[in-house]
Amino acid sequence: MSETEQEFLKNYNSADYQKPSVAVDLVLFTIRDNQLQVLLTKRQAHPFAGMFALPGVFVGMDETLDQAAQRALYQKTGLQDIYFEQLYTWGDLNRDPRMRIISVSYYALIPADQIRMPKREQSQNQDAAFFPVEQLPELAFDHAEIIRYGRERIRNKVNYTDIAFSLVGEEFTLPQLQKIYEILLGQELYKANFRKKIADQIVPTDKMLSGMRHRPSRIYQKLKINP
Amino acid sequence: MSETEQEFLKNYNSADYQKPSVAVDLVLFTIRDNQLQVLLTKRQAHPFAGMFALPGVFVGMDETLDQAAQRALYQKTGLQDIYFEQLYTWGDLNRDPRMRIISVSYYALIPADQIRMPKREQSQNQDAAFFPVEQLPELAFDHAEIIRYGRERIRNKVNYTDIAFSLVGEEFTLPQLQKIYEILLGQELYKANFRKKIADQIVPTDKMLSGMRHRPSRIYQKLKINP
DNA sequence: TATGCTAATTAGTAAATTGCTACTAAGTAA
DNA sequence: TTACTTAGTAGCAATTTACTAATTAGCATA
């Protein structure tokens, strides 16, 4: 902060100045039906009544941004211990027609088996449901762009981090894991190469997943110890 | 935003609630003396008087975050048309001991030839100067972490974007460009491989840079047209 | 029990990229 | 002209990626 700023602050009475509101919006991703899906809630009130939007909360004075995101996640899904990460902060002047709101977006990756929320088509209450990112309804605010941005972030990080593992449970087969990589990347991968690449991140169990009418696949776990 | 949120907003009188202040802090990188350097300003007032900090401004109600960053950049350096990008938003409760300030950080990459500001050692006025990121003074607030984060972001983006070009002028030699890549990545590269990789992003001119006591190097420009 | 079906897993090889060494080229300085 | 220094290029080994095909193991059903 420059000297100008410091001078300013010396005489700065926090209440005297208008401030923007700060919110946190969540992009909750999961994979269902072999598609990347995102949680949306239907707006009842103006503005954008009837349209869908990302879940969000205002940031309290007594909580950090991460805590606000965690709280929102818990309120909307009941989930904790989910991988989440800050995405981007959106500050256009008229994002929200009511007032100046700066939104700090986060994304989270939720394993399908932890979700108790119904799919859009099956939902009685159409208020909150997962939608495939490729077939989103009309979205309120700048939320379509936020989702697009989140999708892009994931596509990048998949290649040099292990975030894809956040979308499977404790145990998984390699065909399952590969499918997740393919959905996140938006392209197919070669079986043999994929296995070589993740070989040092996984540990085989002695269990097999059978019951299909073909050869069963081995069940693996993520390697936990420091690599 | 959920229905709960919407109910809340319906009765929300913007002035009735405490809000955090929102600031923008800049990490201005450049390369000098074959080192990555960052611009710091010396704090005169409490808190952290005498320590160095990143330049920053408060976000006005009538400007977007990008505009605030642009304004800060212009105020501190007089520069415009500089590559900059949002980095991360910092919202810990006691980042600033005076009050709750949420800081949206940006980083910018400034070509060395556009800088009119003196180096730390040469500066008469020791208020603002560039410091090598490897030898930073004690920093105020969480600014050391912000710089570390910016450095990491750059290291990643260098590999799959062309941000490195933002640190050279219109014209450059390949040894110069390679040095910039090496400094950003923090590792040496092989000449031949480096040239193959960037071959489709550059265009040779018919000019040479001579005057050294060895073979002159050809001067290139960045390829402008759509690749 | 044998046969066929399906997807899991493994082999293997060509093409592209990366790691690395060494050679040739073109200025300046004596 | 020679020595010196860095620019630029050749070329090959090691690794990764692209891609094809063979083998394997449950399940279903004849």
At residue B225 the predicted structure's pLDDT band, cuts being 50, 70 and 90, is confident
pLDDT tier at B7, thresholds 50, 70, 90: low
Q: Are B19 and A22 in contact (CB < 8 Å)?
A: yes
- pLDDT, one tens digit per residue, over B172-185 is 999 999 999 999 99
Q: How many residues does chain B have?
A: 227
Q: Which amino acid is at A178?
A: Q
Tens of pLDDT, residue by residue over A60-69, are 999 999 999 9
- For A90-131, how does the pLDDT look when each residue is reduced to its tens digit (9 = 90+)? 999 999 999 999 999 999 999 999 987 655 444 445 588 999
B20 vs A22: CB contact, 8 Å cut-off? yes
CA–CA separation, A111 and A132 (whole Å) = 15
CA-angle at A99, arms to A93 and A101, nearest 5° = 65
> What's the pLDDT tens digit per position in A7-17?
555 455 555 67
**What confidence category does residue B11 fall into, taking pLDDT thresholds of 50, 70 and 90?**
low
Residues 177..216 of A with a Cβ closer than 8 Å to B: which? Answer: none
pLDDT tens string B20-58 = 999 999 999 999 999 999 999 999 888 999 999 999 999
Distance from CA of A27 to the nearest CA of B (A): 11
- Please give the sequence-ordered ranges of beta strands (E in DSSP) within chain A, or none if there are none: 21-32, 35-42, 52-53, 56-58, 83-90, 101-110, 128-132, 171-173, 202-209, 217-222
Q: Encoding tokens for residue A125?
A: 């209450």
**What is the share, in percent, of chain B residues with pLDDT greater than 90?**
81
Unique residue bearing structure tokens 């941000």:
B163
Query: What's the mean pLDDT in B144-152?
Result: 98
Rounded Cα distance between B169 and B82, Å, is 11
Higher pLDDT, B3 or A100: A100
Report the distance from CA of residue A80 to the C1' of nucleotide C13 in Å, as an integer. Answer: 47
Of A19, A53, A160, Cβ closest to residue B1:
A53
B7 close to A (CB below 8 A):
yes
Does position B1 have pLDDT exceeding 80, yes or no? no
pLDDT for residue A7: 52
- Tokens 């939104």 correspond to A103
Would you state the pLDDT for residue A14?
57
Q: What is the pLDDT of residue A121?
A: 46
Query: What radius of gyration, in Å, describes the C-alpha atoms of chain B?
Result: 21
C-alpha torsion sign, points B2, B8, B14, B16: negative
Q: Which domains does chain A have, with CATH numbers?
A: 22-160 (3.90.79.10), 168-222 (1.10.10.10)
User: Nucleotide C26: nearest residue by CA–C1'?
Assistant: B215
What whole-number distance in Å separates Cα of residue B143 and Cα of residue B141? 5
Question: Could B53 and A1 be called an inter-chain contact, meaning their C-beta atoms sit closer than 8 Å?
Answer: yes
- Closest CA-bearing residue to C1' of C18: B193
Non-local (6+) Cβ contacts of B107 within 8 A are: B26, B27, B28, B29, B84, B85, B87, B150, B153, B154
B residues 116..135 contacting A (CB < 8 A):
127-128
Tens of pLDDT, residue by residue over B87-127, are 999 999 999 999 999 999 999 999 999 987 655 444 445 58
Q: Give me the mean pLDDT over the A212-216 stretch.
A: 93
pTM for the predicted model, two decimal places: 0.91
Q: Check residue A124 and give its pLDDT.
A: 46
Q: Is it the case that residue A218 has pLDDT exceeding 90?
A: yes
Query: Contact, B102 vs B58, CB < 8 A?
Result: no
Identity of the residue in B8, B59, B100 whose CB atom sits nearest the CB atom of A61: B100
Describe the crossing of helices B191-198 and B174-185 by its angle, rounded to 10 degrees: 100
Q: Which of residues 39-58 of A touch strand C (CB under 7 A)?
A: none
pLDDT score at B14? 57
Residue of B nearest to A60 (CA): B19
* pLDDT of B153 over the 70 cut: yes
Q: How confident is the model at residue A145 (pLDDT cuts 50, 70, 90)?
A: very high
